[in-house]
């Protein structure tokens, strides 16, 4: 079968997941546990690939995908095309492919699969990648937390749903479940951290780092660390 496949054009991107382990009944690709430092700054993909950024700034900045999907879908279709531009940055946050509450569950699962597959593909091509965990309602828990090593650094965000009370409740419930299953050692949070999330992390002794722009229209997000952890490697 593999010999036959080698003669075909790989439109399903089997090379992205070549060498990984597949997790759970949905066979979500497992990503590597590799990043220990905490990024100083983050920049959206759409800005990272079009803006000229000084080398010293880029070396302390991770590229994120917390923006509308259409702004980075070209990367999802062909990540290799952007390798050269992304290599000047310190690392990448996994693609944040949307999981809408009214989206068919099969599509939600596929979006999680895609995010993990591209994460693994980037990692095996030499990129430092911090895995992003995205979930919707309780139905998504079956696959949303698969493929992530326990005790690792992960990134989360409620991007796009901050103003919706129902979404905030669903996010918080999933956040608790994520900590129960993944047991992250530290969490990077893109956006403003709600008091209930901050207090829960303090209760569980999990370091959480907030990333948001200094000013309303800034594209670069900077970190703010909560909990007094002094032995963690940070970018200076």
Residue 145 covered by a domain: yes
The fraction of the chain above a pLDDT of 90, given in percent, is 75
Residue 8 covered by a domain: no
**Domain with 200 in it:** 23-226
DSSP state of 192: P
Q: Which segment of 1-15, 115-129, 151-165, 184-198 scores lowest on mean pLDDT?
A: 1-15
Please tell me the total count of domains within the chain. 1
Residue 42 covered by a domain: yes
Residue 232 covered by a domain: no
Mean pLDDT of the chain: 89
**Closest Cα to residue 131, out of 112, 114, 153?**
153
> What is the dihedral sign for C-alpha 175, 181, 183, 189?
negative
Output the CA–CA distances (angstroms, integers) from residue 179 to 20, 50, 171, 182, 233, in the order listed.
23, 36, 12, 5, 22
Residue 32 covered by a domain: yes
Stated pTM of the model: 0.89
Instruction: Judge whether residue 214 has pLDDT over 60.
Output: yes
């Amino acid at each position: 079968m593999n010999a036959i496949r080698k003669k075909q054009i790989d439109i399903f991107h089997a090379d992205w997941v070549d060498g990984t382990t597949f997790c759970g009944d949905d066979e979500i690709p497992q990503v590597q546990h590799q990043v220990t430092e905490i990024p100083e700054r983050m920049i959206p993909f759409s800005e990272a690939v079009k803006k000229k950024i000084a080398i010293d700034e880029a070396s302390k900045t991770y590229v994120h995908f917390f923006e509308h999907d259409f702004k980075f879908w070209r990367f999802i279709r062909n990540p290799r095309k952007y390798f050269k531009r992304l290599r000047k940055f310190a690392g990448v946050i996994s693609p944040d492919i949307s999981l809408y509450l009214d989206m068919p569950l099969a599509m939600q699962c596929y979006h999680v699969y895609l995010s993990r597959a591209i994460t693994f593909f980037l990692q095996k091509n030499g990129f430092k990648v911090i895995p992003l965990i995205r979930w919707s309602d309780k139905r998504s828990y079956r696959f949303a937390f698969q493929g992530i090593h326990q005790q690792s650094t992960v990134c989360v965000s409620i991007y796009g749903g901050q103003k919706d009370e129902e979404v905030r409740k669903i996010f918080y419930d999933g956040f608790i479940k994520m900590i129960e299953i993944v047991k992250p050692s530290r969490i990077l949070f893109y956006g403003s951290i709600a008091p209930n999330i901050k207090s829960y992390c303090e209760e569980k002794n999990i370091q959480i780092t907030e990333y948001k722009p200094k000013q309303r229209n800034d594209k670069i997000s900077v970190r703010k660390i909560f909990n007094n952890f002094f032995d963690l490697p940070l970018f200076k």
